[in-house]
A and B are shown apart, each in its own frame.
Chain A
Amino acid sequence: MKKRTMYFRMVTSSLVRRRSRMVIALLAIVIGATILSGLVTIYYDIPRQMGQEFRAYGANLIIIPSGSERLNDGQIDAAAEFLPDGDTVGVTPYRYETIKINEQPFMIAGTDLAEARKTSPYWFVAGEWPRAGGEALIGQEVAERIRLAEGSGFTVTGTDSKGESISRDFTVSGIVQTGGTEEAFVFTSREDLDELMGDSGRIDVVECSVSASGTELEEIAARIEANVADASSRLVKRVTQSEGAVLTKLQSLIWLVTIIVLLLTMICVATTMMAVVTERRKEIGLKKALGAADRSIVNEFLGEGLLLGVLGGVLGVALGFAFAQTISMHVFVRSISFQPALIPVTLAVSVLITGLACLIPVRRATEVDPAIVLRGE
């Protein structure tokens, strides 16, 4: 029989036939490995999970003209090609013009109202979103300055693109509160504004809401910039940075918890192994009396420890995924994707942690005096 076969037989027999305390060590490793693989799965999935939630913050990517001309629909369609299909929440074009109401100057924005609702979910509208032509949303500030309420009518005057005077009646369908500059605007459909101004396809900015990470957004922006003539694209830093900050905080928290759990695992395994060494002093003394070198004693204990590490790691990978999946379903209400790379990582970490935890106990084992076997203490 090969020495290695006998070694393996001794190590496995000890684990299988003795069980007892080693079960506690195994349990500790399983818990540690489960938390590790579970939390790391969540860690890598969180940006994707949170992406959708973050879209409540509003647009995170804008497209603006870079030439002398404003954007036309051709450019917008070309740019939209670079937005990811499933993860694009809304694409909202805005045309801005200056008009007068009651002889006071205001900005009016013509937009795709259905899309605006998606890209700016945080807008609070008292009343209704416009449903028909001739209806408009007005900002809170506008409403206060010219004393308009929901349902009131007002007249827009000014000059159109060809310099001719215009005048048109609108009805207030709702009043919009955002806490931002939008409150000084009048919003109407693109068609109404185009008709008022007598031309179309003159977009000042397109606001896009895409659920993607900061780097992915930067890539999208770069591609639009490179491929669409006279258009430039950039991130809305205010939004992307706060998303990034939230993610970083969450992820640091996850790391912290993982590291603490692994430390606790290590302490638990080390304590258990220490107790096992004390419990098995006689056996160690006997092996030394039979002529076992310190190296053999070390190899056997470490072998048992590492085998537990591997076993705990394997169980931990499986349980960890189940754990991550459960959390994901409860917290984010969507399923999580399995990271195959976690198998070797979890195994390696479990083995490493167990190995480290065994160092002191194993050392203690080599210090056992073989003379105790005859003494029968």
Chain B
Amino acid sequence: MNLLELNDISKIYGNVKALNRIDLTVEQGEWLAIMGPSGSGKTTMMNIIGCMDKPTSGTVLLDGINISTENSKSLTAIRRDKIGLIFQQFHLINYLTAVENVMVAQYYHSMPSEKEALEALERVGLLGRAKHLPSQLSGGEQQRVCIARALINYPRLILADEPTGNLDELNENIVLDIFKQLHRDGSTIIVVTHDPEVAEDAQRTVVLEHGLITKIKENERRGLS
């Protein structure tokens, strides 16, 4: 079953075609990597999939909902219910502790539960740092808090834009291990990366260039290691 279907998607900024008639389907439980040079439209695509932006033309079906025709209020609700976001810059709220940052996502979604938030931090190996402020955490730790926050509401789709772009090798591996575990547990993941090593762990790699998909590659490791 397809969780995501992009049909003939274009996004035009002035005279820049950030995305040019893209077609792409992502299956439930799939782990997809998107690669491409800077400015090729990766982030634009993530914003559209993540219900934070609308395509200029084309349709997007997410979990059976045509999100290209929804208004921003229902997009907010869909995003809240179905999407988990992981960022290159982590984007933690600097005046809240690690566990509070996770609880914020619960707060907007339904009910904050400190217990569940702590369990989520435990899964990413950060239980001991729950009461630390982001400024007291290393980059790798901040990214793990960000992941815990993305997972807390059991999203249908996890979107990660350059999740390892700001991390050293050790932390990159920790994050990738978490992704592998999520994949084994059946999560659907789309990861944007510059790093071929990271892309190799996904099942499929899509290469974007000038807003066009120029290559789709099945990976040998197929996300299972």
Q: List chain A positions with a Cβ less than 8 A from chain B.
A: 1, 3, 5-7, 9-10, 13-14, 16-18, 282-283, 286-294, 296, 369-371, 373-376
Contact = CB atoms under 8 A, between A and B. Distances in A.
A375 to B, nearest CB: 6
Interface string B93-126: 1111000100111011101111000000000000
Interface in B147-167: 149, 161
Contacts of A287: 93, 104, 108
Closest 10 pairs (CB-CB, A-B): A291-B80, A17-B95, A6-B112, A370-B52, A371-B52, A371-B47, A291-B108, A292-B108, A286-B91, A1-B112
B16 to A, nearest CB: 14
Interface of B: 43, 46-47, 50, 52-53, 73, 76-77, 79-81, 85, 87-89, 91, 93-96, 100, 103-105, 107-109, 111-114, 133, 149, 161
A374 B47 contact: yes
Given A290-B108, A373-B87, A13 B80 contact: no
8 contacts: A5-B112, A10-B100, A17-B94, A287-B104, A288-B52, A290-B108, A374-B87, A375-B43
Contact of A293 (B43, B53, B76): B76
Contacts, number: 89
A375 B100 CA distance: 24
Residue among B85, B105, B107, B133 having the largest count of chain A Cβ atoms under 10 Å = B107
Contacts of A13: 95-96, 100
Contact of A374 (B43, B80, B113): B43
Contacts of A288: 52, 76
B80 A18 contact: no
Nearest to B88: A376
A3 B79 CA distance: 20
Contacts of A371: 47, 52-53
A313 B130 CA distance: 35
B79 A291 contact: yes
A194 to B, nearest CB: 87
Contacts of A5: 112
B96 A293 contact: no
Contacts of B52: 288-289, 369-371, 373-374
A283 B94 CA distance: 9
Nearest to B77: A291
Contacts of A1: 103, 111-114
Nearest to A14: B95
Nearest to B78: A291
Max chain A CB contacts within 10 Å: which of B50, B52, B81, B104? B52
A289 B76 CA distance: 8
A71 B133 CA distance: 86
Given A6-B112, A291-B77, A373 B133 contact: no
